Amino acid sequence: MKTIDDLGDLRGKRVLVRSDLNVPLDGTTITDDGRVRAAVPTIKKLVDAGARVVVAAHLGRPKGEPEAKYSLAPVATRLAELLGVPVHLAEDTVGESAAATVAALGDGEVAMLENIRFDPRETSKDEKERGSLADALATLADFYVSDGFGVVHRKQASVYDIATKLPAAVGGLVLKEVEALRRATENPERPYVVILGGSKVSDKLGVIANLIGKADRLLIGGGMVYTFLAAQGHSVGKSLLEQDQIETVKGYLELAASEGVEIVLPTDIVVADGFAADASHQVLAADAIPDAGMGLDIGPDSCALFASKITDAKTIVWNGPMGVFEFDAFADGTRAIAQALIDAGANGAFSIVGGGDSAAAIRLLGFDETKFGHISTGGGASLEFLEGKTLPGIAVLDD
C-alpha cells in the first residue's frame, strides 16, 4: 500500500480523506470523541504539508437523505478544536456547497463534506451508482487518502470506488490498524489469548471459528457467554440467549477440545432481577442462575480466573465488554480485563483492544489509553480482519 509520503509534494493539492468520525451523540453533544482524536494525526500531517484537505465521513444511519440529527456540524466543531484550525463544513456532500467550499480552500486549510450517507449512492449495491458518486467526489480532489478503519470492511463509494478514481494512499490510522492486526494474526508471539465479550455470540461466530487452532486460549464473557452456558446444559434464566446458536456453540466447544485450545468460561455471574443501573443483584455460581435472574456481568472469581489466564500472554486481542459496563454495578468484569491487559503489557505483552464498546469502556472507566498496545477504532472491521475476511477498503489499496 502506498502511504502519504509516496504521494509526493502535496502543497496546494486537494486531498480527499475518508475518516471515521461516527461518534456517539447526546443531541448535539459528542459523548466520546475517541474517533475524532484518532483522525487528527493524518489530517494534521496533510495540513502541515500544505495540502487542501477535504474530509469525507458519515454519522449514524441516515436513510440516504439529509437528516438534521445526523449532521456532521458537531464533529466539524470538535475537529477544528483539536486541529487548531477552522474546519469549513459544506452544506451538502458533492453539490454546489461542497464545490464552493473546496474551491475556497487555501493551502493548509480544511473542509468537511456533509454526512456522506446523506447520498444514497454511498451505500448502494449497484456499482454504477456508487461509481457515479465516486466520480463526483473525484472532481473535488487530486488525491485520495483512506484513513477510516471503521469502514474499510464496506464496499462503499467513499471507501472503495473512489480509490479506483484517484491516486490513492493509506493514512496513518489505517496503516497502524492493519500493522497491529497483522501482528496478532500472522505470526503472533505466544501464548496468544483472545478475550471475546459483547452481547451476541452470532456476531463473533466467524472469529471463534477462525481462531480455534490459532489462539492458545479463548476467554468468553459478556452477553454471549449465556449461549455457551446453555450449550453446556445450564439454565441462564432471563439472561441474553441466542437459542438458535446453541448447537453451533456446542460444536465449537468440541472442536476447541479436539484442537487443544482452551476455552475459559466464567465460574460466577453477577445476577440481577432486571436490566437497570439500580437493579438488585447478587453473585451466583455460573451454573446456578435462577429462572427469574438476568446475568449482567462476570463475577469476582471469574475476574480473578480471567486475569490469571492473561498474565503470561504475549499477544492479547480483546473485543467486547464483560458486562453492562455503562452501569457501575456491572462494570467490574470489564474493568478487571482492562487492568489485566495493562499488567500483561508491563510484562512485555502486546495487546489489541477491538474498537466499539471495548474502546468506549476503556475511556468511560478512566483507563490510560497509552497503557494498551493498540486501541482499534473499528469494531466491525477488526472483527472481520480477525475472521480472515478480505476487507474491500484495504484490498483496493493493495491492488
C-alpha cell at 65: 437523505
Question: Is residue 64 a known part of a binding site?
Answer: no
To the query of whether residue 233 is one of the catalytic residues in this protein, the response is: no
Question: Is residue 358 a known part of a binding site?
Answer: yes
Question: Is residue 308 a known part of a binding site?
Answer: no
Classified as helix, coil or strand, 145 is: strand
Question: Is residue 326 a known part of a binding site?
Answer: yes
Neighbours of 206 (CB within 10 A): 15
**Residue carrying C-alpha cell 434464566:** 237
Annotated catalytic residue within 172, 356, 378, 379? 356
Q: Distance (Å, rounded) from C-alpha 352 to C-alpha 355?
A: 9
Of 211, 226, 222, residue with least CA distance to 256:
211
Question: Is residue 376 a known part of a binding site?
Answer: no
Strands (E), 278-384: 281-285, 294-298, 315-319, 350-353, 374-375
Question: Is residue 371 a known part of a binding site?
Answer: no
Altogether, the residues listed in the chain come to a count of 399
Asked whether 324 and 384 are in contact (CB, 8 A), the reply is no
Question: Is residue 234 a known part of a binding site?
Answer: no
To the query of whether residue 348 is one of the catalytic residues in this protein, the response is: no
Question: Is residue 345 a known part of a binding site?
Answer: no
Q: Distance (Å, rounded) from C-alpha 362 to C-alpha 225?
A: 21
Question: Is residue 355 a known part of a binding site?
Answer: yes
Question: Is residue 130 a known part of a binding site?
Answer: no
Neighbours of 281 (CB within 10 A): 21
Annotated catalytic residue within 183, 200, 214, 314? 200
Of 104, 308, 324, 147, residue with least CA distance to 222:
324
Annotated catalytic residue within 13, 35, 217, 238? 35
Question: Is residue 274 a known part of a binding site?
Answer: no
Question: Is residue 83 a known part of a binding site?
Answer: no
Question: Is residue 204 a known part of a binding site?
Answer: yes
Cα angle for residues 313, 319, 320 (degrees, 5° grid): 125
To the query of whether residue 380 is one of the catalytic residues in this protein, the response is: yes
Question: Is residue 242 a known part of a binding site?
Answer: no
C-alpha cell at 289: 442462575
Binding positions for ATP: 204, 295, 326, 355-358
The catalytic residue positions are 35, 200, 356, 380
Binding positions for substrate: 20-22, 35, 58-61, 117, 154
Binding positions for (2R)-3-phosphoglycerate: 35, 117, 154
